[in-house]
Amino acid sequence: MAMMRLRREDPRVVGSFRLHRRLGAGGMGVVYLGSDRRGQRVALKVIRPDLAEDQEFRSRFAREVSAARRISGGCTARLVAADLDADRPWFATQYVPGPSLHDKVNEGGPMPPSQVASVGAALAEGLVAVHEAGVVHRDLKPSNILLSPKGPRIIDFGIAWSTGASTLTHVGTAVGSPGFLAPEQVRGAAVTPATDVFALGATLAYAATADSPFGQGSSEVMLYRVVHEEPQLRDVHAALAPLIDACLVKAPEDRPSTLQLSLRLKEIAAREARGLPDGDGQHASPTQPDRLGQRPTGRRADEYARQRTERGPASEPGGAERASSSSRSSSPRAASSRASSSRASSSRTGPRPAGARTNGPARSGARPPARSGGRAGPGRRTGANRRLLRQRLVVFVTVTLLVALGIAAAQGCQSSVRGANTPEHPLSPDRHHTPLVL
């Protein structure tokens, strides 16, 4: 985070904290880097002097402090101290070193898919804690996310509000940042946790492409696109595009939950970090228009955000057609051999799901078939097994005959040797004779 020197009009001490640098300024006030007597660094936010007398802004500031106190989790900055009754109300949170997501992408370009998924998983997990506290952030965007060495942190709950509250401060005026607002915020409807899910999807799209999924333009143009147009995700990595698209569904009830997002993004991050193929057995490419058009509608978004590893390849579009066309293109002899082989194998391993792939281990724990130069069908494997059986039988018979002949020859040699060493003369000295007595 960029730091600037204190200006002449900036205070030097606020409460028990000494101010050192200016971290930034927003619509509500100025954020300073300060420290207490023990040297603990804090980010201290002071409301602007011209707004200190405005009761509405004081109320917003009080909501921010209240929201920060109610939220407990590793993905938000911990509240340290606050004074809402001061002439210029202020509060201090734990200082988070590191650039914002906006600055990181603006300076370094789009982030790799594994890093986008890792950041998104941490943010989704943080939003779980935020929503469990009954708070909706309502202004989640890249500039409100700090990338610390310990992980991303969500900051600036200045417009946070309880679940179900309206998003209008004045009639016809939406609170938030165009391009990251949910359609229900633009219409002035009640906010829910799904509102933050929409903003998270837009934020991840920005991290993956360095641009808003609704392009650039004036506030009015951006708000119109959010409500009436589909997001542009052609440049989003194929491993992330379907999940981000599910987050940007117009109807809040059709978006996945933050818990589902956290689990799914963790899987994507782990797989992309190891360089493994996607769940459909293909390596993800930067752009795959055929998959971008598979966004679920209605309440299927929850199922869509589940682990895709729970789905077999047959559930993918075109899986059944590929299997049927492959079976039709086989010859009658190959078809009969496949049928006999499948009946024999089904008796040992059970039925095999249609569309199951042979290039990966089966989910039942069976050992995958050995790979050769090309894929062998069931008929070819049966013929090879028969030839191998005949060869083994011939070798066994030959070896048996050779062993029998060897034994017979050895016995014949032993008999001839005994016959040669035993003389047949009646007066042989080896024989015992009774002497003749006259």
List binding-site positions. 45
Mark whether 139 is an active-site residue: yes
Q: How many CA atoms lie within 13 A of 175 on its CB side?
A: 24
Q: Catalytic residue among 103, 139, 156, 254, which?
A: 139
C-alpha–C-alpha distance, residues 205 and 245, integer Å? 9
Distance CA 235, CA 210 (A): 10
Binding-site residues for ATP sit at 45
At residue 311, what is the residue type? R
Residue 8 class from Cβ within 10 Å (0-12 exposed, 13-18 middle, 19+ buried)? exposed
Interatomic CA distance for residues 233 and 383, integer angstroms? 50
Q: d(Cα 210, Cα 234) in Å, to the nearest integer?
A: 13
Cα–Cα distance for residue pair 434/213, rounded to 1 Å: 126
Closest Cα partner for 382 from 431, 332, 341, 430? 341
Give me the active site residues, please: 139
